[in-house]
Structure 1
Amino acid sequence: MNTEEMTAKIANGQGFIAALDQSGGSTPKALRGYGVEDGEWSGDDEMFAQIHAMRSRVITSPCFGSGKVIGAILFERTMDGSVEGKTTADALKARGIVPFIKVDQGLADEENGAQMMKPLDKLPALLEKSVGHGMFGTKMRSVIKSANPVGIAAVVEQQFAVGNQIADAGLMPMLEPEYDITAGDREAGEDILLAEIMKGLDALSEGRKVMLKLSIPVKAGHYAPAINHPNVLRVVALSGGFSTDDACERLAKNPGMIASFSRGLLQDLRKGQSDDEFDGTLGSAIEKIAGASCAG
């Protein structure tokens, strides 16, 4: 797939984007969930080898290339690795799946009810490498924890500033100002968040497209104005800690949003499953998530 084909796939594809980008501190937890105990690896190289084996098993599963997964978000080491003798990006594209790369370097300490991204000092080099690997887009995460207008505005401003840098490098930026689903004031905060997002979208140059990755809102249909904005290629939803069933039920009430789930996709997979068990479990999750993504 070339860039034009990948753009059309993300804009119009009926399906969802898989999040396979756990990294750093989240990797041991992801491995334990998969049934790999801490004693089965030693050091970062062995840890990342274990997680790459899991991701490779997911990517090569027949159901993953069924057409219902239209994109996949990768961690840098996964992008640097190979699947069945091909680069991971090429292995995905061979299955009709558009590759994205996680580019943030973690979260800063909480301030004004939000965690912005740490300084992205490695971003220029990573963008250059990602273009060389044939990646389509990027993803970067901030977290909002309360309805603090100052914190929310700062998060959104940073996301759009970095997003413009990414677009200038020739990649599609996926902005992710996640709202913590456990926050008691989330409904009020999502009103503030939407207003700030719309300001950022209106300020983009004509023809510049971005994607948005957002928590499934408290109010169904809340992000419709962003979904319909001419500068938005697609709006995707993160599962945010909801179970697969709960996330899918909530997502189905939000026409125009499609899923970009990690936990909701992978939570029932185990290393010890036979290939048939693994493929059946993954296939069931894919069917459920794709159905919710297309419900609107």
Structure 2
Amino acid sequence: MASATLLKSSFLPKKGEWGTTRQAAGPKPVTVSMVVHASAYADELVQTAKTISSPGRGIIAMDESNATIGKRLASIGLENTEANRQAYRTVLVRTPGLGQYISGAILFEETLYQSTVDGEKIVDVLVEQGIVPGIKVDKGLVPLAGSNNESWCQGLDGLASREAAYYQAGARFAKWRTVVSIPTGPSELAVKEAAWGLARYAAISQENGLVPIVEPEILLDGDHGIKRTFEVAQKVWAETFYYLAQNNVLFEGILLKPSMVTPGADCKEKATPEQIAHYTLKLLHRRVPPAVPGILFLSGGQSEVEATLNLNAMNQSPNPWHVSFSYARALQNSCLKTWAGRPENVKAAQNALLLRAKANSLAQLGKYSSDGEDAAAREGMYVKNYSY
């Protein structure tokens, strides 16, 4: 399939090429040369993206690095050991009926090759539930030299060989997260670096059979209003899709994981779910081609209920995409606290996860109500300069 969508007027002749006089036969025709992407995995990529973008389902992001999941475990008094990480991930993937609401699971490399506590490969457990296994492939954020104290995402070196191995291990999609911070600019350099890195990662992923999740996150840090977030997001997404096209990425075989358009975490003027939905959908309509099958939002430090309410508001009107969720803390927070590392709490913890998964499934269908949600689910989870 062709993906050489032209988002800028680069195909137009340069000013000096038009000539100063018109010939009698009329101007010479302009020839447009387009590169067509022809990955051997094209059909499979499209099918995987469609499967993940199935009605009433979304993604569970359980790809925290060992350091980050260590912080999660510490919050319930557990040591950061492989055995404890394995036990917690077993609680998640062994939740009965999870596949009814979850279509994909993003894994950390350790988890991709890990087994449950009862000895079955985690990848196999997910597939049995009808959940597509995915893999986090970036190598994390580092300072961006020459910028205004901003960051860039590393991990392109050796990516092709790593992804080929991940595909053999059962992964069928990938995730690469980079961030843009509004209080520090963002600088033109940081925006271009984020967009180019995402585009190169996406092209490499598709060549190795993995559907790339494209994730340029606009951090919640700052006291700016929702309109400022909207302005920055438009700029970031314009650059991102331009470079995706430049790299001949197949749009039908990608998924997006953007942050919702919200005010900064320290903004005094809060936004309603309806306002957030308005600006976020406006951004999608202005920047995202309808060929992209799925938009799976990150929660970005919102409370469990906030993230679900905002998603629900976005699905109150029709749009050309599958607008859904790819949540980590907004799906797992109640589950983790309920489990607390105790075997006798496993069933209750799984029920808590299923409750949140079902709530977001309903939100994807535009049928969610927050009536009956407890106070714990309404607690915000914002962390300044969040990275993992």
Q: TM-score, normalised by structure 1?
A: 0.87
| 1:49/1:126 CA distance change after superposition, 3 Å | farther
Match of 1:44 in 2: none
Q: Would you tell me which structure has more helix in proportion to its own residues?
A: 1
| 1:220/1:118 CA distance change after superposition, 3 Å | closer
Matched, 1:192 2:235: yes
Match of 1:170 in 2: 209
CA contact (8 A) 1:92 1:99 kept: yes
Q: Pairwise CA RMSD of aligned residues? A: 2.4
Match of 1:104 among 135, 138, 145: 138
Rounded Cα–Cα distance in structure 2 between residues aligned with 1:286 and 1:206: 31
SS in structure 2 at match of 1:182: coil
Match of 1:153 among 192, 198, 208: 192
Matched, 1:82 2:115: yes
| 1:5/1:210 CA distance change after superposition, 3 Å | closer
**Map of 1:192-271 to 2, 5 A cutoff?**
192-203=235-246, 205=248, 207-208=250-251, 209-218=253-262, 219-221=279-281, 222-230=283-291, 232-255=292-315, 256-269=322-335, 270=339, 271=341
How many residues align? The count is 285
SS in structure 2 at match of 1:239: coil
CA contact (8 A) 1:113 1:145 kept: no
Matched, 1:285 2:356: yes
Report the CA distance between 1:224 and its aligned residue. 3.1
Rounded Cα–Cα distance in structure 1 between residues aligned with 2:113 and 2:244: 32
Q: TM-score, normalised by structure 2?
A: 0.68
- Greater CA radius of gyration, 1 or 2? 2
Match of 1:116 in 2: 152
Report the CA distance between 1:138 and its aligned residue. 0.4
Match of 2:106 in 1: 73
The unaligned stretches of length 5 or more in structure 2 are 1-42, 263-278, 316-321, 368-388
Q: Would you tell me which structure has more strand in proportion to its own residues?
A: 1
Match of 1:24 in 2: 66
Match of 1:59 among 93, 112, 115: 93
Relative to structure 2, which stretch is displaced further, 148-157 or 75-84? 148-157
Report the CA distance between 1:88 and its aligned residue. 1.8
Rounded Cα–Cα distance in structure 2 between residues aligned with 1:171 and 1:119: 16
Percent of aligned pairs with the same residue?
A: 24
Report the CA distance between 1:239 and its aligned residue. 0.7
CA contact (8 A) 1:152 1:193 kept: yes
SS in structure 1 at match of 2:350: helix
CA contact (8 A) 1:16 1:259 kept: yes
Match of 2:270 in 1: none
AA matched with 1:30: R
Report the CA distance between 1:281 and its aligned residue. 1.2
Report the CA distance between 1:199 and its aligned residue. 1.7
| 1:118/1:268 CA distance change after superposition, 3 Å | same
